[in-house]
Amino acid sequence: MKRPGSGTFYGIGLGPGDPELLTRKAARLLSEVDWIFHPAETRTGGSFARHILDALELPAAKYRQVSLGMSRDREPDQRTYAAAVDTIAQVVRQGQSAAWVTLGDPLLYSTFIYVYLEMQQRFPDVPVTIVPGVPSTHAVAAAAGVPVALLDEQVAVVPATYGLQHLPALLDHFATVFLMKIHTVFEQCLEQLATLPQHVHAVYVERVGTPEQRVVTDVATLRGQTLSYFSMLLLRQDKSTLVAGQQKEAV
Amino acid sequence: MKRPGSGTFYGIGLGPGDPELLTRKAARLLSEVDWIFHPAETRTGGSFARHILDALELPAAKYRQVSLGMSRDREPDQRTYAAAVDTIAQVVRQGQSAAWVTLGDPLLYSTFIYVYLEMQQRFPDVPVTIVPGVPSTHAVAAAAGVPVALLDEQVAVVPATYGLQHLPALLDHFATVFLMKIHTVFEQCLEQLATLPQHVHAVYVERVGTPEQRVVTDVATLRGQTLSYFSMLLLRQDKSTLVAGQQKEAV
């Protein structure tokens, strides 16, 4: 039932790890599209995205694995993205549909962004539809049981590699700070945390939504451990803003 | 098949507005639980949450509407939350299961947070499971086709009522800023936007994921219009960080 010219390119978020945290829209579209492009690491051949997809029991012939080096030198991967975009533009122009899937949300620290920007630049005629997913940040908050924001509170999402020395200033303004990509700088992070006020609580969560999920509230016990790539630190100010203040939330 | 003591209280995010953006887990749990508590505005009787739920075609007898005034004086609503928590704790202790549903994610500017904190304080024995949802922020970015963050970029979520004068300072550090609750201060916001650098792009999105969704990139044209409560302004720095820099993203 494919009509020529009816193709679309979808950027689809798979959610943080639990296959049940896919949206109903993602599940439907993935069963409908002709091709599913999913990134995998060249080094390990592993693909967390593919692991989530397996729960959908789709035909294996749909999948197109795209191997990425994920190294500091972005040149090789940029060529891989360019080649994938060539292929996707070609099939879409033939009236087929293709999806690029990513963990979490497709617009938050994802491989889709590179594909999307390359596609916009070189093939602006290809229709793109982006399907948001549950980002890992909100899955981590749910696993930790920690409110993200209420009333006039502010939220920051910050890669830990950015500069941990800014943390005290950030916490002057933001009730909740998500520290991403924490695993490479965790020891330095612990030193910073020790200097923060008592009312700032830290929760470490790794592999959220998988059977290996770990939630650690006494983060100092993690010292010296090898941490997962899929890990995050959630910092929350406990200011008991609940009693005072104005409430005006959507229902 | 209910066993006494097997009850659980669920906080469930319904996603931003499109019933298909419910997660598969939310849909399953809502079909399984005995009771679904959903907030509605006293003044209008309206409930956007209920509107999303209707797509699931669940038995009407499951629903328990909780009417909230959503006024500046939080006292009456706090009493309503307390009464709802009494009821929920009672049914859960009897081995039944109950859900409190919210738009978007249950821990981001949601009514669930009030219920959750009250429950933790007064009935710490009641098991609570929180099911994250697609937050409106990420749905807005997807509708606008705007990347939220890549590489070492930072993201801020800020209620517009907090203090628009901080916006230039925020944009010194954050590549993307979501301005929430924009409708009451939009005119002041336009004045601030006019002073921002050229490379900061603003996109206005209202009623994301509904048939009434509106995406406006020339935000100055909105001057003088009555804006939806369900609206947001997405500010994004276009710094073309794509070519340089280090890539290390999850696959």
Question: A93 in a domain, yes or no?
Answer: yes
**Contact between chains at A105 and B72 (C-beta distance less than 8 A):** no
CATH number of B99's domain = 3.40.1010.10
Strands ordered across the beta sheet of B155-159: A214-216, A200-206, A231-237, A176-180, A155-159, B155-159, B176-180, B231-237, B200-206, B214-216
**Contact between chains at A135 and B138 (C-beta distance less than 8 A):** yes
One domain, residues A207 and A112: no
One domain, residues B127 and B140: no
Question: A70 in a domain, yes or no?
Answer: yes
Q: Nearest by CB to B152, which of A108, A110, A162?
A: A162
Question: B242 in a domain, yes or no?
Answer: no
Which value does ipTM take for this structure?
0.92
One domain, residues A104 and A151: no
The model carries a pTM of 0.92
Distance from CA of A107 to the nearest CA of B (A): 5
Distance from CA of B196 to the nearest CA of A (A): 21
Looking at B85, B116, B131, which one is the last position of a domain?
B131
Question: A248 in a domain, yes or no?
Answer: no
Q: Nearest by CB to B247, which of A70, A134, A249?
A: A70
One domain, residues B105 and B168: no
pLDDT at A35 over 90: yes
Residue A44: per-residue pLDDT: 66
One domain, residues B55 and B21: yes
pLDDT band at B14 (very low <50, low <70, confident <90, very high): very high
pLDDT band at B45 (very low <50, low <70, confident <90, very high): low
Lowest mean pLDDT among A77-86, B152-161, B171-180, B236-245: B236-245
pLDDT at B141 over 50: yes
Looking at B83, B103, B131, which one is the last position of a domain?
B131
Q: What is the DSSP string of A175-208?
A: SEEEEES-TTSHHHHHHHHHTS-TTEEEEEEEST
3-class DSSP assignment, residue B187? helix
In total, the C-beta contacts within 8 angstroms joining chain A to chain B are 234
pLDDT at A109 over 80: yes
Looking at A113, A131, A149, which one is the last position of a domain?
A131
pLDDT band at A57 (very low <50, low <70, confident <90, very high): very high
pLDDT band at B251 (very low <50, low <70, confident <90, very high): very low
**What would the mean pLDDT of B189-204 be, rounded to a whole number?**
91
Instruction: Write the pLDDT tens digit of every residue in B212-248.
Output: 999 999 999 999 998 998 999 999 997 654 433 333 3
Residue A231: per-residue pLDDT: 93
Question: B2 in a domain, yes or no?
Answer: no
**Contact between chains at B162 and A155 (C-beta distance less than 8 A):** no
Distance from CA of B247 to the nearest CA of A (A): 6
**What would the mean pLDDT of B97-106 be, rounded to a whole number?**
97
Q: Nearest by CB to A22, which of B24, B70, B131?
A: B24
- Structural domain boundaries, residue B141: 136-237
